Amino acid sequence: MFHAALAPSHVAVVTGGASGIGLAAARRFADLGMRVCIADLDAERLRDAAADVAAAAPGGERHVLAVAADVSRRDDVRRLEQAVRARFGCVHLLMNNAGIQPGSGILGPEEHWEQVLGVNLLGVIHGTQVFLPGMLADGLPGLVINTGSKQGITTPPGDPAYNVAKAGVKAFTEALQHELRTIDGCAVSARLLIPGFVFTPLTARGRTEKPAGAWTPEQTIDFMMERLEAGDFYILCPDNEVTRDVDNRRILWAAGDIVENRPPLSRWHPDYAAAFKAFLERR
């Protein structure tokens, strides 16, 4: 069975819910009979997404709420929480999914760092800190799903702000789940969603057709639901070009940089290219 929070008439809140993984999740929750609130910045996309989610909801528009919110602003998240409770009452599921990726460099534009850290990391923290107290007080089965990234684990070169933010989401969600499991009688738990290569507006970069190696947002949510049913905390998604075994080896190699005292990001260091290749191929 799915997590007890995922039940008909229960309430799900999805940030970044107007497109991509967030919209696919919102549709799936609506299809389960849940009442769904989607939050995003773009008002036009938000309206279209709300109609899309309502088409999947047994209760139609009555069971869907769309709220414009900037999750990097705590006051916006507070208004979101108030709007959801005024419309639907208790919140059973919070999916902190909003994310941006404008690109960054170590000495890149300050505004890019502020935007990425504000949405991708503080957005998760704000959502959790604003919604969780009420979820705990309600005493009902609850679930917080935070969308991380493999880039927050293996931290590849090229976009350090994004990596830092997603590494923070990983550490925050691990600490959150640990804290929740230490609360007597707590019915709320947390999960970390770690997508693979997913074709979304965030990753399209001008492409109009899905690359063969990418999953669709719907495939990603299918996998998420499967692993929620299995009870996984780390929902590490493969895609059409990277298997779970390859992910495991990449993650182990990244951790090995510390254990073996190799240069940081040695996977991309020319002196370690042959060793990394052999490590991937080892059986």
pLDDT in tens, 46-91: 999 999 999 999 999 999 999 999 999 999 999 999 999 999 999 9
Of the residues 162, 197, 223, 276, only one is catalytic, namely 162
Alpha-carbon distance 269 to 249, whole Å?
17
Q: How far apart are CA 157 and CA 160, in angstroms?
A: 7
Tokens for 50, please give them. 């709300």
At residue 204, the pLDDT reads 64
pTM here is 0.96
**Which residues pair with residue 38 across a beta bridge?**
14, 66
Q: Is the pLDDT confidence value at 1 over 60?
A: no
Mean pLDDT (whole number) for 92-113: 97
Mean pLDDT across the chain: 96
Q: For the chain, list the domains and their CATH numbers.
A: 11-241 (3.40.50.720), 243-283 (no CATH)
Q: pLDDT value at position 194?
A: 98
DSSP, collapsed to helix, strand or coil, labels residue 205 as coil
Active site residue 162: yes
Quote the percentage of the chain above a pLDDT of 90: 93
Q: 273: left (phi > 0), else alpha (psi -120 to 50), else beta?
A: alpha
Of 281, 282, 252, the C-alpha closest to 267 is 252
